[in-house]
Amino acid sequence: MRNVVIASGDLNNIGDFALLMQCVEGLRRLGLTNPMLVRQWVMPPPGILQELRDADIGVLSGKDIPGSLAAARGGLVVVGGGQMVRDNASTSSLALLAAMMETARRTGGMSAVLGCGVSRLTRMPHRMLWRRMLSSASVLTVRDDASLAEVEGLCGRAAKPVLTADLAFCPTTLHAALARSTGAGPIIVAPCDDASEDRCIDIAALARLSISAAHAFDASGISLVAHDSAPRMDPVVCQALDREIRSRAPAITVNHVASNALADYMNAYAGASLVVTNRLHATIFGLLARKPILIVDDGGTKTMAAARQFDIATVKLASAESAGLFDRLLVDNADGPPERRGRNIEAAGIASASNFDLLNAALEARA
């Protein structure tokens, strides 16, 4: 293989950035010493670019058609992690990704889709392009039952998807960072309010819930964690939440985590006393750090599936003041996470590692 090109989600999102690093580490553990490139439609901010340089990962502009096709020649093109298969993506970007995967296959390389989430596609160009990409991938793995059903419905017998787990669960240095618990610090509140995904959150209700949680856990404060650090995304929500919390409970210390450094986020989760979120990867980081978690049910299927799999408490903001909510959380986590949750985290780690086992088998078969 000449190059390894990874098609990743937006690296402004720390969840997608963590998935990229998981993918790179997993590929390098297979002995792939090839140049690693991450494909991005929009160039990442300087902080992310520096982290990529430090990890010896190059950036390939998704808008550079000749450069993208040249990078794919004889290479391995990986669609690696996250909810990559969805409607709110550029048709031009998908068409070029499909051409890259085809170029790789026709020039002695191959393509793979690893541990991805798959949404219901309604736009015909997206359905056609993804059907082509998923059906022709040498390895096709998905992270959950809902994604498996969507691939089967979209591709029929043309694709052979394998159910594994999210790449974030694969045991790596990321897990070691999260395992360095620094005790009971502030509670983490990691909100998502994204119109492009039809997701919204009631700021006033979340502020009331956050204040109640901080008091119940006797926390040192509240950390508002912006997983998507793009200026118009989570920082806006976190600032509004900050104002609401301070107006209701001025004695509570509020701080923000909104950087391009993965270590800042891992340190925050390692030191949290509770994680409150409607984000999937905030939930997963909390699981890996063995923290109590409360999922805010905003109707999202990803987080609710995680709640069922790992026995995580959920709450709808309309009823967030219900008596006994935090008492139950404190009791359930008095001696660490519930036993069944620990077993399921371990099982998810094994399933996630199989993403790379399956890819390795495909690579060896071509050798």
Whether 83 and 205 share a structural domain: no
Whether 36 and 70 share a structural domain: yes
Whether 212 and 297 share a structural domain: yes
Mean pLDDT of the chain: 92
Q: What is the pLDDT of residues 39-88, one digit of tens each?
A: 998 889 898 999 999 999 999 999 999 999 999 999 999 998 899 999 98
Whether 187 and 108 share a structural domain: no
**Residues near 115 by Cβ (< 8 Å), separated by ≥ 6?**
80, 81, 141, 142, 143, 164, 165, 166, 167, 352, 355
The range of the structural domain enclosing residue 224 comes to: 176-344
Whether 149 and 185 share a structural domain: no
Asked if residue 310 belongs to a domain, the reply is yes
Q: Give the model's pLDDT for residue 29.
A: 96
The CATH number for 64's domain is: 3.40.50
Distance CA 279, CA 281 (A): 6
Whether 12 and 124 share a structural domain: yes
Q: Looking at mean pLDDT, say which of 124-133, 182-191, 194-203, 293-302 comes out highest.
A: 124-133
Whether 212 and 102 share a structural domain: no
Whether 212 and 144 share a structural domain: no
Q: Which two tokens stand for residue 35?
A: 């140049």
Least confident of 84-88, 126-130, 160-164: 84-88
Q: What is the pLDDT of residues 272-330, one digit of tens each?
A: 999 999 999 999 999 999 999 999 998 888 999 999 999 898 998 876 555 567 766 76
Whether 144 and 232 share a structural domain: no
Kind and range of the H or E run holding 360:
helix 339-366
pTM of the predicted structure, to 2 decimals: 0.94
The DSSP string of 137-189 is -SEEEESSHHHHHHHHHHHGGG---EE---GGGS-SHHHHHHH----S-PEEE
Give the pLDDT band (50/70/90) at residue 130.
very high
Asked if residue 312 belongs to a domain, the reply is yes
Whether 190 and 313 share a structural domain: yes
> Which residues in the chain belong to E strands, given as ranges?
4-7, 36-40, 57-61, 76-85, 110-118, 139-142, 162-163, 187-190, 222-225, 254-257, 274-277, 293-296, 313-315
Whether 182 and 329 share a structural domain: yes
Whether 30 and 66 share a structural domain: yes
Q: Give the model's pLDDT for residue 329.
A: 72
The CATH number for 241's domain is: 3.40.50.2000
**Residues near 145 by Cβ (< 8 Å), separated by ≥ 6?**
163, 305
